[in-house]
Amino acid sequence: MILDQKSDSVLKKMLWPLMFILMISNFVSFSAVKAQEKESYSIITSSDYAPFEFTDSSGKLVGIDIEILEAIAEDQGFEIEYELMPFSSGLQALESNQADGMIAAMGITDERKESFDFSDPYFEVGSMFAVSTKSRIKDLKSLEGKKVATKIGSQGAQIANELKDRYGYQIMTFEDSVNMYQDIKSGNSDAVIEDAPVMAYATKTGTVDLTLIGEEMDTLPLGFAVNKGKNQELINKFNQGLANIKESGLYDDILAKYTGDNVEKVETSFFGQLTQNFPALMVGLGKTLMATILSLIIAFILGTLLGLMKASHNNILRGVSTVYIDIMRGLPLLVLAFFIYFGIPQMTGIKFSNLIAGVLTLGLNAAAYVAEIVRGGVQSIAQGQMEAGRSLGLSRKTTMKKIVLPQAFKIMLPSFINQFVITLKDTSILSVIGMVELTQTGRIIIARTYQSGSMWLIVGIIYVIIITILTKISKLLEKELVL
């Protein structure tokens, strides 16, 4: 049997660290708001497109786009809050007014001008085909019957679609550049089409072995974008700042840093990857744990309420709980995340930060599973326990609180820990709305190093260690709660 006082004591011990985390988080947020004196703009960018935007070995966001934008911000006296997202998700976020602007090596096209307003061009790029240095493919005619890797929404993908019937190849689509190059390395794709400066930079850093074939095609100007009819003052500031840094020579210095021959070689060994990127991985792990804890607080409160409703004798309460559980269990997490982060702002004008949207996504989804855990735990207690309490003169509410729930909690505890583990792993989905948790941190590092094998092994080891610790904690809690 479970001791009621001991249960309360353990629960209080578990809640104190959570309350402390929330207090620190609120204090940091308040301090950040107080510290802002200059006008600040939220800017969408990616972190997987070297040399335009990527993170260096210290975890700092760098690249042609980033340094040009920050030089302009310094010149024009405004601050930047970055929102890191995949390119296709970033376009959706900008259209739903989740940010003020976007810079991500975006080509200025007539089609995009229908949805966005662009700055003056700050760079020009063209796309090229490339193959592995070990490939026997020497020209575009040799691509017949082969597979060509492309990135969704990119200029290269558009060119590849226009030429596929002419050269007879099959198109493979990927969310980012990293996966395109990995597909080439693994031999699944035979060629890739990408912006020429991107492939040239990857080759110079020693991260990929590619041979360019054909000629640079469809050179496009790149521009800074805002949503159509929005933030014209930001466009004006960008244009004025761009003109100023070109005049001062700073613009040329930035380009020389990333397009010259003196680029930094990337560390590719396993232990080199681990030691060099450990601080960034720990930051990502911290965000993963914070999102998990906050979402589970929501899930446990809402899920317990829904579970008790479903276990009640009231048909209305059972019906409401059943409908909620069925909807959440049938709705994919990715769809729910997109709806909360992109859909709700478009429909209502209410915006959420990626952390809040992520916490709501995980919390609302996990609440459905917690509800079933609670319902199963309560109904597993023999009906005689309730009858015994009522025969002693206790109310149904008191009997449930003092007799049934303490016993049910021990039964539910392993399932609660299992839900903790599931939610912890589900945080990886939140990268699609720009949250840089542990998995996304791994992707960002791979975008710079292209060493996916060693980095995914490191990320996997971190997850296993954390989940093993949680499993050990659950066993200790079970022992402490039992007489």
Q: Stretch 15-44: mean pLDDT, rounded?
A: 56
More confidently predicted of 479 and 118: 118
Query: In the chain, pLDDT over 90 holds for what percent of residues?
Result: 35
Amino acid at 394: L
Mean pLDDT of 46-69: 85
Report how far residue 426's alpha carbon sits from residue 244's, in angstroms, rounded to the nearest whole number.
46
- Residue 428, pLDDT > 70, answer yes
Alpha carbon distance 452, 444 (integer Å): 10
* pTM of the predicted protein model: 0.65
Q: How far is 300 from 361, CA to CA, in rounded Å?
A: 14
pLDDT tens column, 375-426 = 887 777 766 666 666 666 666 667 666 676 777 777 777 788 888 888 988 8
Task: Report the amino acid identity of residue 115.
Answer: S
User: What's the rounded mean pLDDT across residues 11-34?
Assistant: 46
Average pLDDT on 440-452 reads: 79
Radius of gyration of the chain (CA): 27
Instruction: Report residue 381 as tokens.
Output: 């207690």
Burial class (CB in 10 A: 0-12, 13-18, 19+), 243: middle
- pLDDT tier at 117 (50, 70, 90 boundaries)? very high
pLDDT above 60 (res 107) = yes
Q: How many other C-beta atoms lie within 10 A of the C-beta of residue 329?
A: 12
Name the band, by pLDDT with cuts 50, 70 and 90, for residue 483: very low
User: Which of 184-193, 265-274, 319-328 is predicted with the least confidence, judged by mean pLDDT?
Assistant: 265-274
Cα–Cα distance for residue pair 184/120, rounded to 1 Å: 35
Which domains, ranges and CATH numbers included, belong to the chain? 4-29+270-481 (1.10.3720.10), 38-121+226-259 (3.40.190.10), 124-222 (3.40.190.10)
pLDDT class of 176 with cuts at 50, 70, 90: confident
DSSP assignment letter at 38: S
- Which of the two residues, 149 and 477, has the higher pLDDT score? 149
How remote is the C-alpha of 337 from its chain's centroid? 11
User: For 273-298, what is the mean pLDDT?
Assistant: 88
Determine what percent of the chain falls in helix, strand and coil, rounding each to the nearest 5. Answer: 65, 15, 20
Strand partners, 172: 149
3-class secondary-structure state, position 84: strand
Q: Name the least confident of 70-74, 158-162, 199-203.
A: 199-203
What would the pLDDT profile of 303-351 be if each residue is shown by its tens digit? Answer: 989 988 888 888 899 899 999 999 998 999 989 998 998 888 888 888 8
**C-alpha–C-alpha distance, residues 221 and 105, integer Å:** 9
pLDDT of residue 14: 47
Cis amide linkage into residue 406, ω under 30° from 0: no
Q: Specify the DSSP element, H or E, that contains 128.
A: strand 123-132
pLDDT at 254 over 90: yes
Q: How confident is the model at residue 369 (pLDDT cuts 50, 70, 90)?
A: very high
**What is the pLDDT, as a whole number, of residue 482?**
55
Question: What's the mean pLDDT in 28-47?
Answer: 66
**Is the confidence at residue 64, as pLDDT, over 90?**
yes
Cα separation, 196 vs 183, whole angstroms: 18
Reported confidence tier of residue 248, pLDDT bands at 50, 70, 90 = very high
Q: How many Cα atoms occupy the beta-carbon half-sphere of 308 within 13 Å?
A: 13
Other Cβ atoms within 10 Å of 457 Cβ, number: 15
Per-residue model confidence (pLDDT) at position 320: 92
Greatest Cα pair distance, the chain, in angstroms, is 89
State both tokens at 197.
Answer: 């400066």
Average pLDDT, the chain: 82
CA distances from 390 to 221, 309, 374, 375 (A): 77, 20, 21, 20
Assess whether pLDDT exceeds 50 at residue 190. Answer: yes
- What confidence category does residue 28 fall into, taking pLDDT thresholds of 50, 70 and 90? very low
Please tell me the predicted confidence (pLDDT) of residue 51. 87
Q: Give the model confidence (pLDDT) of 378-388 as tens digits.
A: 777 766 666 66
Number of H helices, E strands in the chain: 19, 13
